[in-house]
Chains A and B, each alone.
Chain A
């Protein structure tokens, strides 16, 4: 969990991603660091535009350049810095060692290609096997995600949303990746289907011993599948810790605000406590703490300079000078 331990399977260090649009620089990811052990799941929670997807795409190296640029940082996977290797080498890793489940199953699939072929394509790309063998494996994958093998020859439009997302998951898992990046994998799905998909992901994780990064804005989903959690705001991780640390002892005012702003299924509250204001403009971030304009605990010192992520309990980090007693 320590951000600078090196024997981890994945370690992201001080990642900075910027987009340039019409001469303006959008600061999407501003120094994100975290680590992930083999077989564990790290949850990245935050709102739209917080930099969750940009972080995942940086790991996959699929950020569109231009406009996006990885300005700084290291991404060590199994001891190898993914940002230093050639595109050719990266292509061998992508879809094989690392793969990604995209948010929207409606747009992630090729509409004019049979779903089975879309799975077999990945398998053939990374393994020297015949088309027939690849097809056979693809059918096995379909079954694994709960789709009958005889639907191999159907097109995406013949599937429901939940089924399409399972196809996307089958593609991502086709080569038994060691690291799976799941970007809001259930957001587009109905709750009962979401429950099915989450259960399946949890099972596949155990079967393949896959490490996973789960990106979500839904605290419940994160609670369900993650071991460790990073809360991200305006491109910075503002709180980091084990699931127990974050859910039992949320500390950062933003994390606390998030918990209070969301209605809970098992609570009889009749009014929410919203976080005032809006997330900051990423092309014009406030000085000091990025959350300070919305923070109920803000002091003058919060607006002065950069706030560091400090350890407040073993393995539990928080980026707030008021909360950790330096304010």
Chain B
């Protein structure tokens, strides 16, 4: 099976007054059709930037992006328009990502009209179909975003993303702003839509429980780089990178009788501006040694399970 989306050595640097910020630094992975890849990491690790670079909301600095086997790293305007029909994004905050002056119907219809594939009448019918699909009552079609609760707003965002039948959707923290009981409704909707239309998701989140639930494969990101990639099951059964181990152990469990061995990290994330060549986690890592100052490479430690840590085998007694 060929991958629907593949990125190779992707980089995105930002110029800042204090120097070059390495937001995404040499990231490679692929996503198979119909699958979900989860990208987890803490704020500022570059996970949202990664999603935006892939769908061309931001221009990449270096590296390549392939979509359905074709190199789409650099595309002209016409190609970009085509590409945009196939690659969509659902944003984190349904409060700021919708135009407050557009009704639900206008919001969902807009991409249909812009595409030029729909007459006004067809667009209307299609918008109605999309609204039903994401579970918004027809009576709300003339409502404005401020009249809707967070869950419904996010459904509008999803409806708009589904317009034009995309193949690939970047879900950028789509449930983080929602209450737990509503979060479950939206996650189930995303899963249903994936099953029905064979959608491929890149699911960006800081929430490990959500990522475990929804992903087939997981990439753990730290300061612009992937430190561990693995099938979801294997990652949670046996996290291998010291950062992943700390991250998973830090999630408060609701099992009150089981005391987990929490790894408390010292210090805070180092600056992504002009990072040193070695392991970026080394400063907070209890296994830090001299070899950590060399650049780290992702290596396959278990089947399909890649880790970028020079001491991984020793730490995990493999």
Contacts and interface: CB of A to CB of B under 8 A. Distances in A.
Contacts of B236: 265
B interface, size bucket = 35 or more
B233 to A, nearest CB: 8
Interface residues of A, number: 46
B264 interface: yes
Interface in B181-239: 181-185, 187-188, 191, 206-210, 212-213, 233, 236
Interface in A205-249: 217-221, 223-224, 243-244, 247-248
Contacts of A163: 268
A160 B179 contact: no
B264 A195 contact: yes
Interface stretch (B244-252, B298-306, B307-315): B244-252
A283 interface: no
B255 to A, nearest CB: 7
B213 A195 contact: no
Query: Which of A163, A257, A262 has the largest count of B CB atoms less than 10 A from its CB?
Result: A262
B43 interface: yes
B185 to A, nearest CB: 4
Nearest to B268: A160
B262 A195 contact: yes
B264 A275 contact: no
B295 to A, nearest CB: 23
Interface string A251-267: 00000011101111111
B254 A220 contact: yes
A269 B213 contact: yes
A196 interface: yes
A267 B149 CA distance: 29
B128 interface: no
A110 B255 CA distance: 38
A192 B184 contact: no
Interface string B276-297: 0000000000000000000000
Contact of B252 (A196, A224, A261): A224
Contact of B250 (A195, A268, A271): A195
A272 B151 CA distance: 16
B126 interface: no
A257 B43 CA distance: 30
A191 B250 contact: yes
A127 B253 CA distance: 40
A157 to B, nearest CB: 14
B252 A218 contact: yes
B208 A191 contact: yes
Given A163-B268, A261-B181, A272-B188, A266 B250 contact: no
A275 B255 contact: no
Given A192-B265, A243-B256, A265 B184 contact: no
Contacts of B208: 191, 265
Given A219-B254, A223-B253, A278-B182, A190 B187 contact: no
Contact of A265 (B187, B253, B256): B253
Contact of A266 (B43, B151, B188, B253): B253
Interface in A1-54: 47-48
A274 interface: yes
Given A196-B265, A265-B253, A271 B151 contact: no
B180 interface: yes
A47 B180 CA distance: 7
A265 B181 contact: no
Given A223-B252, A264-B209, 17 more contacts: A47-B181, A191-B206, A194-B250, A195-B252, A198-B252, A199-B264, A220-B252, A259-B254, A261-B184, A262-B180, A262-B254, A263-B210, A265-B212, A265-B248, A272-B188, A274-B181, A274-B185
Interface of B: 42-43, 149, 151, 179-185, 187-188, 191, 206-210, 212-213, 233, 236, 246-256, 262, 264-265, 268-269
6 contacts: A48-B179, A192-B250, A195-B249, A262-B184, A263-B213, A266-B255
